[in-house]
Amino acid sequence: MKRREVVTALGGFCLGGFQHRSSGSVATILARAAAEPPEAVRKGWSCFCLLPGPAGRASLQWKDGSGPARLRITVAFDARENLRLAVVTSKANEPVGWFDIRFAYPFQPFDLPLSARQVDRALAEGLDLILEQGSRPLWLVAEAPSRLASLLPPHFQQEKRVTASDFRQALLSPALAQPFGWMEGCVLDGLQQRWALLRSVQDQRALEWHFQTFFDQQRMPRYVPHAEAPVRHGSEGLLPFAVLARHHPAHPSFDGMLEFCLRSASANGGVIVDGDVTSAEGCYTLAYPLAVLGSVRDDPSLRALAVRQLEHRVKQLAAGDTIYLRARRNGERTFANWARGLAWFALGLVRTLQELREEEIPSELRSALIWCLELAMKWQSRNGLWHCFLDQPETQVETSGSAGIAAALAAGARWLRAPSRAVRAARAAHRELLSRHLLPGGFLGGASQANRDGERLQRSGYRVIAHFGAGLLAQLDAHLQALA
């Protein structure tokens, strides 16, 4: 097959090649790799793949554009390895740059900054994507429904100064959808806090789009918007149900969610865990949705189950001046003072306690909340943010954990003796995140990757765009606007 031969797309995905015709800064994609996606792709979506090596390349062509700009691509399916994606000019084969893609997840965007001259070269002769490092196909979004058609396929995102207004507008975009579970839950909770505190009709409409995309009337929600694969329930995957409960408490998908929770709790002495691992995520992804559902349904047994999840995690994960992300039954504890671990712990306590009646809150949980918020303020850096590992500056500032910690401080300040101190700390983080870490399009950058390759990746300094981090920042933003 010739390099620029295009084979017709079959069934909405790439079998031998795919051509996406569009105008403006979205690329026309000429792909020749023959492969079938890991999951069936929904109508209105298409994706293309890159196979390892020069023979598996894809070509991008543009009708117009301007620079400097960012070449932005979106991963379509899990890529659980370290990948190096070279970008070269199509005619001269001259290097333009590289995408460093490590353990990516569906709907994750990646940027390559291009100079004005490089954009001109791209317009004149096109750009080729070559998977130089990687053992499996890399799938990228090629075509999306109309509201997403210019946001997810390969396109030029013009460089410009980004403002808080750009960020708030980006929150309304379907492009911020994440894989169902804790990632999508962070986005939903960000929109929910904005709706609850600011009463924005736009945020309510955005929430409904997410609900319709993931749930419809299905008992098992979809894992991603562009494919038909259902979720598999796990202790870190239930966070979206906290927001769904407020808007659709009788939705049929709660049957599967509760069946999983009750079965796991019954098998583990009232505690919901995955195997032998207790995680801090469960404070936010288990206790919080159970408490919300127990509140809206007026079911004290669900609220009591939420309390049990927090009590167990406080006992297993909190020690001295350290919060651990994970604890095993053999006593091993890992990820000491990881920023996102503290965020999950603190947010879970704050959000869950807000749903309980006064007499249902054990004194130990009150004390744990105060302890973790004080710990957060202790480790806040001078620039207002937190390092990837709180007490290790060499691991560098991390934005998603910082946003989550600051959101917990803003929402939980009233539990402290000096609430104003926590609010000041939250405002300092808010200023730094909005002024220094937003990217063109209003996205949040500077986050450590999803935790799929252990502590080595978290300690490496590798940073990505993270829409789940934007959801955490949205929560912080909503609380501080409401306090203003």
What is the average pLDDT across 267-288?
A: 95
pLDDT of the residue at 66: 81
**What was the pLDDT predicted at 364?**
97
List the single range of 27-31, 246-250, 377-381 with lowest mean pLDDT.
27-31
Are 107 and 467 spatial neighbours (Cβ–Cβ below 8 Å)? yes
Q: What is the mean pLDDT of residues 137-163?
A: 94
Contact 72, 109 (CB under 8 A): yes
Length in residues, the chain: 484
Q: Which CATH class is domain 28-159?
A: mainly beta
The answer to whether the beta carbons of residues 184 and 470 sit under 8 Å apart is no
Per residue in 247-274, pLDDT (tens digit) is: 999 999 999 999 999 999 999 999 999 8
Q: How far apart are CA 6 and CA 18, in angstroms?
A: 6
CB 69 within 8 A of CB 158: yes
The confidence band for 425, taking pLDDT boundaries of 50, 70 and 90, is very high
Say how many C-beta atoms besides its own lie within 10 A of residue 333's C-beta.
16
Banded model confidence at residue 360, pLDDT cuts 50, 70, 90: very high
Asked whether 191 and 211 are in contact (CB, 8 A), the reply is no
Position 15 scores a pLDDT of 28
Instruction: Specify the fold of 165-483.
Output: Glycosyltransferase (1.50.10)
Around Cβ 420, how many Cβ atoms within 10 Å?
9
Tell me which of 63 and 11 has the higher pLDDT. Answer: 63
Distance CA 231, CA 381 (A): 38
Model pLDDT, residue 146: 87
8 A C-beta contact, residue 99 and residue 130:
no
C-beta separation of 30 from 62 below 8 A: no
Given the structure tokens 């053992």, which residue do they identify?
Answer: 135
Listed in sequence order, the residues at least 6 apart from 331 whose beta carbon sits closer than 8 Å to its beta carbon are none
CB contact at 8 A, 334 and 455:
yes
- Per the DSSP assignment, residues forming a β-bridge with 47 are 141
* Average of per-residue pLDDT across 16-45: 71
Q: Tell me if the bond preceding 68 is cis, omega within 30° of 0.
A: yes
The string of pLDDT tens digits covering residues 116-140 is 999 999 999 999 999 999 999 999 9
The number of angstroms, rounded, from the C-alpha of 255 to the middle of its chain's C-alpha atoms is 25
Residue 352 banded pLDDT, cuts 50, 70, 90:
very high
Distance between CA 121 and CA 91 in Å, rounded?
10
Mind spelling out the 3-state secondary structure of 410-459? Answer: HHHHHHCCCHHHHHHHHHHHHHHHHHHCEECCCEECCECCCCCCHHHHHC
- Give the whole-angstrom CA distance, residue 388 versus residue 458: 7
Average pLDDT, the chain: 92
pLDDT at 220: 84
Tokens of 321: 């001046």
* Cβ atoms of 111 and 439 closer than 8 Å: yes
Please state at what angle helix 467-483 crosses helix 399-412, rounded to 10 degrees: 30
Extract the tokens encoding 338: 């990881």
Asked whether residue 227 carries a pLDDT value surpassing 50, the answer given is yes
Q: Which residue has the higher pLDDT, 14 or 409?
A: 409
**Could you report the per-residue pLDDT of 194-216, keeping only the tens digit for each?**
999 999 899 999 999 999 999 87
Say what the pLDDT of residue 32 is.
65
Reported as a single tens digit per residue, the pLDDT across 331-349 is 999 999 999 999 999 999 9
In this predicted model, which residue has the larger pLDDT, 14 or 245? Answer: 245
Q: How many CB atoms lie within 10 A of CB 165?
A: 9
- pLDDT, average across residues 383-404: 98
pLDDT surpassing 70 at residue 361? yes
Q: How far apart are CA 372 and CA 219, in angstroms?
A: 36
Domain boundaries, the chain: 28-159, 165-483
Cβ atoms 68, 114 nearer than 8 A: yes
pLDDT of residue 77: 97
Q: What is the pLDDT of residues 69-88, one digit of tens each?
A: 999 999 999 999 999 999 99
H or E stretch including 302? helix 300-317
